[in-house]
Amino acid sequence: MTIAAGDDQIGSGLFGVGQDEAADVDAGRFLRMDFRFHAMVVQVTQGLFKPIPISAPPLPGNPATPAKVALGKMLYFEPRLSESHSISCNSCHMIGMGGVDLQETSLGHRWQHGGRNAPTVYNAVFDVAQFWDGRAKDLEQQAGGPLVNPVEMGTTETHVVEQLKGIPGYAGAFAKAYPGESDPITLDNVRKAIAVFEATLITPHAPFDRYLTGNDKALDATQKEGLALFINKGCVACHKGVNIGGGMYAPFGVVERPGADILPPGDKGRFAVTKTVSDEYVFRVPSLRNITLTAPYFHTGKVWDLRQAIAIMGSSQLGAKLTDDEARKIEVFLGALTGDQPIVTLPILPPSVTTTPRPKP
Amino acid sequence: MTIAAGDDQIGSGLFGVGQDEAADVDAGRFLRMDFRFHAMVVQVTQGLFKPIPISAPPLPGNPATPAKVALGKMLYFEPRLSESHSISCNSCHMIGMGGVDLQETSLGHRWQHGGRNAPTVYNAVFDVAQFWDGRAKDLEQQAGGPLVNPVEMGTTETHVVEQLKGIPGYAGAFAKAYPGESDPITLDNVRKAIAVFEATLITPHAPFDRYLTGNDKALDATQKEGLALFINKGCVACHKGVNIGGGMYAPFGVVERPGADILPPGDKGRFAVTKTVSDEYVFRVPSLRNITLTAPYFHTGKVWDLRQAIAIMGSSQLGAKLTDDEARKIEVFLGALTGDQPIVTLPILPPSVTTTPRPKP
């Protein structure tokens, strides 16, 4: 499928491409074509992408209740889940800051650097799997990872439960979230609660979503040109679906391998999970939702400039040398993927008592 | 002034002291006395303490506007004010967590430990001065300190301004907060905005405040006994006023110096500010508001058990060996100083752009 950006005959006005140069086209004919092609383009676009829903999707086997979401929010902001009592989920996935930490790789326990750039928590519920290598199948499984990673929160599964049982206020919160369970403070229930809270961190109503649902004016002319380029250049082969990415895996450097700073030979990506040679340097395709908020880019976080990241993707993944103007227009289109940011009221966390296990910073 | 805790004739029923032993007192006479003495006790108590107001107090020379409070909230949660872009005001003064960080001394830039325990930001606006040694006269002056402290946020005054000017979204936020100023992004305006936001972080409606404003039932019998002990043992000599502390300075170890772990000889407190010999080991008396939420205690944060802290205060400051039961009752009274915790919605912070100064973790 090709939508001819830059082809005056059918492209003009569709995405606004070359509108200035189309002044000599018969206006009536142009408008009729515009209408016809607009309908077609929306149909094609709707087939490739889906808008972010306006409410949190249900998680299989983990029904959300207000009590469980409330508990999950407490745990998301709970620094006492880390060995030092100074790092919470929100430390690296900051709500109000794009769901990321703005670092190349995250700072964790004792100022150690994580191995890869922290992906945004926003809309992560729509990704096919979690982490850059997809080693966690869902949010629930992901939530347990950083807790026990020695360079992240640095604790142990046993201690997470000890710690929470040592904070009296959590007994009631878990009991409400998991009614009928005799011993609800378990690692499994911690992960489930965090997952249902994280599923609420979605960003609907991006201009592109409004465009997808029929509002042609939601994108301006340059954004439409960027969208046409995004589709025609082939970005859409991987960056599609509800998250405009996040739905599949792809080798980084399929056409031309980027420099070792961006793709260091030591991190073979999904190969570490599957031990399959064809998965060397394969990573989960990142979502492009809210991408202008989540620099730096790539799993190494080595690229801070979105336009440069687009150019690298063009050469490494598509074998396309994008002009600076093309990269700029795609960048402008990506700006239309920023949705309503989650509005979250900080939870009041239950106090420690004398017997609460203490931090080990 | 003495209120006779433990004196059955006048003490019983006032604060509930010795109520069990008072069964043999004529009930009618007791109730009449109860009423008379209750009125007197409330009057005395009202003279010593003041309730937390229900709205933020005005700051001299720094009028609050909704735009300035909103900006201050953004800056309070802004990790890019630190050299590493990973530490904000909220890292050590966590909203939802008593306004503290639950560490002996705070973890700052490159995992360095701060020199003293982080005081709570809640109700700090009512303290006579800021920091344990009072070296900042108010919140506004305080706000500049941790920014440039090399073991805290580790940045420089110049870089704070550069950093904020490098984030385009702040231009509008400062312009709204400081209308009419041609160059509103200044360190002074950063401090002022943070201060007006912090002034909103107050905790009214503690049971003790409800008692102070005439609701005798707001304290239970043990809390009243604890209050009587708190007054009669002399705690109130320093811990008085709206913050039940925070209003004056006092030497730590005035009667008996505590161990070097709790009061290390190297930290001479206010002496560093005034260079006056009589200020050696003098510290600002901490507020006891929300004290059950803010362990560990003292400027060294070496004491995690509130009852132990009370016992140490008794011996070091008052020369009083409190019985375990007395310390327990005072502890129960202090539990009545926990007010409504501030409910804060996280701000949406403006995104970095390609030219925004980057973190130096």
Which of B111, B351, B361 lies nearest to residue A292, judging by beta carbons? Answer: B351
Residues B209, B330 share a domain = yes
Please judge whether A77 and B84 are an interchain contact, meaning their C-beta atoms are less than 8 angstroms apart.
Answer: no
Please check whether residues B233 and B308 belong to one and the same domain: yes
Mean of the per-residue pLDDT values of chain B: 92
Question: How far does the CA of residue A113 sit from the closest CA of chain B (Å)?
Answer: 9
- Residue A70, chain B, CB below 8 Å: the answer is no
- Looking at residue B41, its pLDDT comes to 76
Provide the domain limits for residue B86: 66-198
Say whether both A187 and A239 belong to one domain. Answer: no
Residue A152 catalytic? Answer: yes
> So what's the pLDDT on residue B26?
58
Let me know whether B268 and B325 are in one domain. Answer: yes
CB contact under 8 A, B102 and A292: no
Query: Can you name the residues that pair with B130 across neighbouring β-strands?
Result: B136
Select which of B152, B225, B326, B331 is catalytic. B152
Contact B276, B269 (CB under 8 A): no
Number of domains forming the structure of chain A = 2
Query: Both B45 and B157 in a single domain?
Result: no
Q: What is the ipTM of this complex?
A: 0.91
Compare B199 and A13 and report the one with higher pLDDT.
B199
Please give the pLDDT value at position B329.
Answer: 98
Interchain CB distance below 8 Å, A295 and B354: yes
Check pLDDT > 60 for residue A23.
no
* Of A65 and A35, more confident: A65
Find the closest chain B residue to A73 by CA distance: B96
Are the beta carbons of A102 and B352 separated by less than 8 Å?
A: yes
Chain B residue at shortest CA distance from A306: B354
- Tell me, yes or no, whether A213 lies in a domain: yes
B357 Cβ under 8 Å from any chain A Cβ = no
pLDDT for res B323: 97
Q: Which residues contact A289 (CB under 8 A, 6 or more apart)?
A: A52, A120, A122, A123, A203, A206, A243, A244, A245, A337, A338, A339
Would the pLDDT of B19 be above 90?
Answer: no
From residue A109, alpha-carbon distances to A88, A151, A158, A281, A301 in Å are 11, 5, 18, 27, 19
- Choose, out of B74, B88, B97, the residue to mutate when testing the contact with A (most A CBs < 10 Å): B97
Residue of chain B nearest A351, judged by CA positions: B293
Position B85 pLDDT exceeds 90? yes
Residue B351 covered by a domain:
no
Q: What is the pLDDT of residues B241-293, one digit of tens each?
A: 999 999 999 999 989 999 999 999 999 999 999 999 999 999 999 999 999 99
Domain boundary among B172, B198, B224: B198
- Same domain as B91, residue B192: yes
Check pLDDT > 90 for residue A325: yes
Closest approach of chain B CAs to the CA of A358, in angstroms? 9
- Residue A40 parent element (H or E): helix A27-48
Residue A343 has pLDDT above 80, yes or no: yes
Q: Is residue B290 part of a domain?
A: yes
By the CB < 8 Å criterion, does B98 face chain A?
yes
Give per-residue burial for B124-137: e unless 16+ CB within 10 Å, then b: bbbbbbbbbbbbbe
Tell me the CATH number at A96.
Answer: 1.10.760.10
Q: By the CB < 8 Å criterion, does A101 face chain B? A: yes
Separation of alpha carbons B265 and B281, rounded Å: 8
d(C-alpha A269, C-alpha A282), whole Å: 5
CB A346 to CB B101 under 8 A?
no
Strands B249-251 and A249-251: unpaired
Q: Is B288 part of a structural domain of the chain?
A: yes
A296 shares a domain with A217? yes
Number of Cβ atoms within 10 Å of the Cβ of A20: 9
My answer on whether A132 and A247 are in the same domain is: no
Q: Using an 8 Å CB-CB cutoff, list chain B residues near A117.
A: none
Q: What pLDDT sits at residue A34?
A: 64
The pLDDT tens digits for A112-170 are 999 999 999 999 999 999 999 999 999 999 999 999 999 999 999 999 999 999 999 99
The per-residue pLDDT for B23 is 43
Q: Write the pLDDT tens digit of every residue in A205-219.
A: 999 999 999 999 999
Q: Are residues A189 and A247 in the same domain?
A: no
Indicate the range of A12-26, A39-53, A253-267, B78-92 predicted with least confidence: A12-26
Residue B4 has pLDDT above 50, yes or no: no
pLDDT digits (tens, 9 = 90+) for B128-137: 999 999 999 9
Q: Do B103 and A85 touch (CB under 8 A)?
A: yes
Judged by CB atoms closer than 8 Å, whether chains meet at A96 and B304 is answered as no
Backbone torsions φ then ψ of A202, nearest 5 degrees: -120, 155
A354 interfacial to chain B (CB closer than 8 Å): yes
Single out the residue in A198, A229, A259 at which a domain terminates: A198
**Long-range own/partner contacts, residues A290-293 (CB < 8 A, 24 or more apart):** A290/A98, A290/A99, A290/A120, A290/A122, A290/A123, A290/A203, A290/A206, A290/A337, A290/A338, A290/A339, A290/A341, A291/A334, A291/A337, A292/A334, A292/A335, A292/A337, A292/A338, A292/B351, A293/A97, A293/A98, A293/A100, A293/A120, A293/A338, A293/B351
Out of A101, A293, A359, the one facing B351 most closely (by C-beta) is A293
pLDDT at A244: 98
Asked if the structure places residue A287 within a domain, the reply is yes
Burial B8-42 (b: 16+ CB within 10 A, else e): bebbbbbbbbbbeebeebeeeebeebbeebeeebb
- What is the length of chain B? 361
User: How many CB atoms are located within 10 Å of the residue A250 CB?
Assistant: 18
SS3 for A241? strand
Whether residue B179 sits in one domain with residue B87: yes
- Give me the phi and psi of A272, to 5 degrees please: -65, -25
Region B315-332: mean pLDDT is 97
Instruction: For residue B346, give the nearest of A95, A103, A354 by CB distance.
Output: A95
pLDDT band at A42 (very low <50, low <70, confident <90, very high): confident
Longest CA–CA span in chain B (Å) reads: 81
Token pair for A209: 């979503």
Report the pLDDT value the prediction gives residue B5, as an integer from 0 to 100: 42
Final residue of a domain: which of B180, B198, B216?
B198
What local confidence, expressed as pLDDT, does residue A316 receive? Answer: 96
Considering the domain boundaries, does residue A318 fall inside one? yes
Q: Which of B133, B95, B128 has the alpha carbon at shortest distance from B117?
A: B133
In a domain, B320, yes or no: yes
What are the structure tokens assigned to B68, written together? 């300035």
Contact B102 A110 (CB under 8 A): no
Whether residue A30 is contained in a domain is answered as: yes
Q: What's residue B42's pLDDT?
A: 78
Query: Of A335, A319, A328, which Cα lies nearest the Cα of A229?
Result: A328
The residue with tokens 């056409």 is A255
- Contact list, B343 vs chain A (CB under 8 Å): 345-346, 348
Same domain for B46 and B103: no
Average pLDDT estimate for B314-333 = 97
Q: Same structural domain for residues A190 and A208?
A: no
CB contact under 8 A, A361 and B306: no
